[in-house]
Amino acid sequence: MLFRRSLILLFIGLILGIAVNYLTGPSIETFGTDFLPPAPETTSLRISGMYSDGTDYSLIDTEMERFMSNWEITGASLSLARDGKLVYAKGYGYADSQAGEEVEPYHLFRVASISKLITATGIIKLAEEGLLSLDDRVFGPDGILSQEPYTNYRDKRVEDIEVRHLLNHSGGWTNRWGDPMFMPSVVAKKLGKVLPVSDEDIISFMLDKRLHFKPGEMSSYSNLGYVILGKVIEQVSNQSYEDYIKGSVLLPLGIYDMQLGNSHLDQLNPLEVRYYEPFDSNLTSDYSVAEQMVPRVYGGNDIHTLGAAGGWIASSTDLMKFMLAIDGNPVPADIISPESVKLMTTPIELGYHPYGWRGVQAGERYRTGTLAGTSTLMVNRDDGISYVVLFNSSTWKGPKLANDIRRMMHKGIAKTNEWADFDLVSE
């Protein structure tokens, strides 16, 4: 009897010991930090295309597949929303054709100039917080960027550039002699530096030249202006540009996967697609080593330095969440005020670009993006329909492909009579 009781007590002791060890785990002192479990990864809601299998958007699918075949597009991601609800999200073709990996809606794509809409939203947020005014001067003794290396400029009119001028592309620069964001060897030679050059180097290079027109006098599309806005955000927020956008624009929306991208194949994010150019595309000089010839999609452009003008990577679903949060509609709630929405979607005068958007016309607002290996379009319509299309391929048509994408999507949408009534974000 005593032996049996001892066995029972021993068994109970073992069970209690296991339970305590399970609840508390081994101590750091006993096993060291190598035995600590990895910290949980915070990610965006990653929506699979399988969640849209039960809905009939076959007419849109048909248009998309025909378009991709005609233009030899390798992979695509599409997100559709109606009345503020994400009703359809699907991948088409391949994220990596060599590996046979198919696109899912959560795959990340370079979004090129869609980045400008993200940057403009960041500036508007800072204005709403009272940390800057759109009337603030950018350069000069009273400017936001009044410190080195921005104090050496040739044209006195630089001191007249206001934040709003950079937002609507009226800062004073044109691409008459080429886009400085894509001329790294020229910038390096002029400044006496070795490659790669930084965004600060490119800004300094342009400040050493005369402006092409008086700030505010006209509007001429400028990647440089938005790169400068990225530096404005850093100066005012006392954070890196990427950290401010993530913390103040994306985090409140539950978006964690979006980030600035990189240029070379071995630098791609694990969720990022591969990129494809037309088969007859020529090699070009690597942005970081001029003597090295590379495909333009992998080193021909400095994606990270494009940053605020064209450097973000994102999924179509996350871009949809972002677009619906700045569209002025009550559902879902916006992250900027109605007054700010109106400001971003109303050009100051005919011929001036809106803030961040590529265009605002009757019935819709749209934003395009084009790089080697990248063709993107996002549209927000007055009839409650919004869509994001991301391609991991470019064509000989360049930025003009966006017009064809819009026609293709509007054709498919017009043929679709029934829409799902659920929201993939909340299901």
320-to-286, 363, 378 alpha-carbon distances in Å: 33, 18, 8
The CATH class of 120-237 is alpha beta
**Separation CA 6–CA 12 (nearest Å):** 10
**49-114+257-414 and 120-237: identical CATH topology:** yes
Domain boundaries defined on the chain? 49-114+257-414, 120-237
**pLDDT tens per residue across span 211-229:** 999 999 999 999 999 999 9
pLDDT of the residue at 422? 86
Residue 30 has pLDDT above 70, yes or no: no
DSSP string, 98-114: TTTEEP-TT-BEE-TTH
Higher pLDDT: 381 or 279? It is: 381
pLDDT tens readout for residues 327-348: 999 999 999 999 999 999 987 7
- Give this prediction's pTM: 0.89
The answer to whether the CB of 307 falls within 8 A of the CB of 327 is: no
Written as six digits, the tokens of 310 are 């064209």
Which residues neighbour 113 within 8 Å (Cβ) at sequence distance 6 or greater?
223, 309, 310, 358, 367, 368, 369, 370
When mean pLDDT is compared over 3-7, 51-55, 282-286, the highest value belongs to 282-286
User: E strands along 26-163, which residues?
Assistant: 75-82, 85-96, 101-102, 109-110
Domain 49-114+257-414 superfamily per CATH: DD-peptidase/beta-lactamase superfamily (3.40.710.10)
Give the pLDDT of residue 9.
40
What pLDDT was estimated at residue 40? 47
Query: How confident is the model at residue 54, as a pLDDT?
Result: 59
Residue 73 has pLDDT above 70, yes or no: yes
- What is the rounded CA–CA span in Å between residue 403 and residue 359? 12
pLDDT bracket for residue 41 (50, 70, 90): low
Supply the pLDDT for residue 141.
97
Q: How far apart are the C-alpha atoms of 376 and 392, rounded to whole Å?
A: 9
pLDDT averaged over every residue in the chain = 90
**Does position 404 have pLDDT exceeding 80, yes or no?**
yes
